[in-house]
Amino acid sequence: MAGPIHWDRVKFIPDYDSKGWWEATKRREYVVNQCNKCGNKWFPPLPACNRCQSTDVGWFKTQGKGFIYSYVVVVQPIFAHFVDAVPYVVAVIELPDANNPGHYATRIAAVLRDDEDKVAIGLPVEVDWEETPDPEIVIPFWKVSGTADNTWKFPG
């Protein structure tokens, strides 16, 4: 990430579905939705289970660890608060402890603290927290946390 993110240029407004997620980030916990009926897990927050359609939805506290499933490098700042941060990496991160055996993986999208030269598909990552001027809003970033034997990078 080239420069700072200007958190004063954005206002996060938790809604009914994401309120619990923002409460968890304030506690430095990375959570995903979990169906209280069938155990299915998913992200981003939604009002009903996409496997059994139950609206009895809760939260699953992950370990805040995963691996890079894929990534892109953002070079054009779409949001005003990111104008000095480009280029930065947005990764699709798989969370093994939140996977749904026999069904599908739980993956999230997140901004990485690491620059492109440090990033590769397959590398382990862990969550890292950043406070904002709004004491109710703590942002999860992710960072590379180790090495892996079988990694792949976009050429260039």
Taking the complex as a whole, the smallest distance from the CB of residue 52 to Zn ion amounts, in Å, to: 3
* Chain residues 15-54 in contact with Zn ion, contact rule CB under 5 A: 35, 37-38, 40, 49, 51-52, 54
Which CB, 40 or 106, lies closer to Zn ion?
Answer: 40
Give the CB-side neighbour count of residue 94, counting CA atoms within 13 A: 13
Taking the complex as a whole, the smallest distance from the CB of residue 115 to Zn ion amounts, in Å, to: 39
Secondary structure (H, E, C), the chain: CCCCCCHHHCCCCCCCCCHHHHHHHHCCCCEEEEECCCCCEECCCCCCCCCCCCCCEEEEECCCEEEEEEEEEECCCCCHHHCCCCCEEEEEEECHHHCCCCCCCCEEEEEECCCHHHCCECCEEEEEEEECCCCCCEEEEEEECCCCCCCECCCC
Which CB, 51 or 65, lies closer to Zn ion?
Answer: 51
Taking the complex as a whole, the smallest distance from the CB of residue 9 to Zn ion amounts, in Å, to: 38
Question: How many Å is the Cα radius of gyration of the chain?
Answer: 16
Which CB, 54 or 151, lies closer to Zn ion?
Answer: 54
Q: Give bridge partners of residue 57 from the DSSP assignment.
A: 35
Which CB, 48 or 74, lies closer to Zn ion?
Answer: 48
Binding mask 52-71 for Zn ion (x = CB under 5 A): x-x-----------------
Taking the complex as a whole, the smallest distance from the CB of residue 54 to Zn ion amounts, in Å, to: 5
Binding mask 117-156 for Zn ion (x = CB under 5 A): ----------------------------------------
Report the alpha-carbon distance of residue 69 to residue 27 in Å, rounded: 26
Write out the residues near Zn ion by the rule CB under 5 A. Answer: 35, 37-38, 40, 49, 51-52, 54
